[in-house]
Structure 1
Amino acid sequence: MSDTRILSHQESVIVEASAAFLYDLLSDITRTGEWSPVCASCWWDDEAEAGRVGAWFTGRNQLPHRTWETRSEVVTAERGREFAWVVGGSFVRWGFSFDAAETGTRVTESWDFLPDGIAMFEEKFGEDAHAQITDRTQQALDGIPKTLAAIKRIAEVTIGSGEQALA
């Protein structure tokens, strides 16, 4: 496709917690439903591989008009630095990166609609592919700030309850 639609996006939030604490929180994909406005739940396809590069997990996504499941592969797992996965193995890359900030950690959520994903949408949806891609892109643009706000709230409430999140 040759238009100029946004097919990647990232936003950040400062969280008063350590990068290691935030990595441990966000790489526990079984908790994703706590902060995601779309992904209601996730589970590891093989618990023995949980959290490692190459591990696969399944996510159940819910919107008012539909529910669907996706399988994703962990592509980056560097504690305290980055946790990322690719939906369908090559369609959409999601991730969280962690950088030191004056009052804690900058958490950046990123989203990239990859060429294989665009090709899959074109094949699956034909003439409706553009509308479908636009819809998925808007969901990501709307969801990322909500996700980051929820992560900040959950992490900082956890800190307030006594966990050593800045250690």
Structure 2
Amino acid sequence: MPASLTFEDSIHVEAEPSAVYAVVSDVTRTGEWSPTCRECWWDEDHGPRPGAWFTGLNATPDREWKTRSQVVVAEPGVAFGWSVGPGRVVWTYRMEPSGSGTRLTESWEFTSEGQAYFVERFGEHAADQVTVRSAAAREDIPATLAALKRIIEQ
């Protein structure tokens, strides 16, 4: 399997980077914009800061599962990201001033550690599962960004 798999996409949002950050760093709202994640909740006394933990509930037509994630970057108005597992998949939102608004970029990295975990968990079906997850990221990121744009610009 490759060292890591990555994908990212961007969208222009008519809002200041700090306003965009306020939305994307509130993981309790993730179900409003994510096609796969239905809801997230912080561990007690945690919030959008490096080292904080949260749980996510995900669902597809085929299955439902929970994930544990740890915030790896929380720079207001600049970037917010977390590591699922942790160490298996890294999701990051980056905000850059752009004209009258913000260029919002969402990135996904399926790490080599994550892929090794899939080999351990799925055995001979690991490559198929990696393909499924990669395709989901490529479909979900543009949909997520479009939903975030609608929500933030309301």
TM-score normalised by the chain length of structure 2:
0.97
User: Secondary structure in 2 aligned to 1:125?
Assistant: helix
Counterparts of 1:118-137 in structure 2, within 5 Å, are 118-137=115-134
Over the matched positions of the two proteins, sequence identity in percent amounts to: 50
Give 2:116's aligned amino acid: A
2:62 matches 1:65: yes
2:110 matches 1:117: no
C-alpha contact (below 8 Å) 2:54/2:69 kept by paired residues: yes
Gaps of 5+ in 1: 158-167
**Cα distance change on mapping 1:2 and 1:10 into 2, 3 Å:** closer
RMSD: 1.2
Instruction: Name 1:162's counterpart in structure 2.
Output: none
Distance (Å, rounded) in 2 between the aligned partners of 1:2 and 1:31: 33
Moved over 2 A (4+): none
- 1:4-58 CA deviation, whole Å, 9 max, x = no partner? xx81000000000010011011100000000000000000012x22111000100
User: Secondary structure in 1 aligned to 2:22?
Assistant: helix
2:90 matches 1:99: no
How many angstroms does 1:103 deviate by?
2.6
Give 2:10's aligned amino acid: S
C-alpha contact (below 8 Å) 2:2/2:112 kept by paired residues: no
TM-score normalised by the chain length of structure 1:
0.90
**Cα distance change on mapping 1:108 and 1:2 into 2, 3 Å:** closer
Counterparts of 1:68-79 in structure 2, within 5 Å, are 68-79=65-76
Aligned residues: 154
Instruction: Name 1:30's counterpart in structure 2.
Output: 28
**Cα distance change on mapping 1:84 and 1:2 into 2, 3 Å:** closer
> Of 144, 147, 150, which aligns to 2:144?
147
Distance (Å, rounded) in 2 between the aligned partners of 1:114 and 1:54: 19
Distance (Å, rounded) in 2 between the aligned partners of 1:124 and 1:89: 16
- 1:81-111 CA deviation, whole Å, 9 max, x = no partner? 0000000110000010000101300000000
> Of 14, 22, 26, which aligns to 1:16?
14
Bigger-Rg structure (1/2)? 1
Instruction: Name 2:53's counterpart in structure 1.
Output: 56
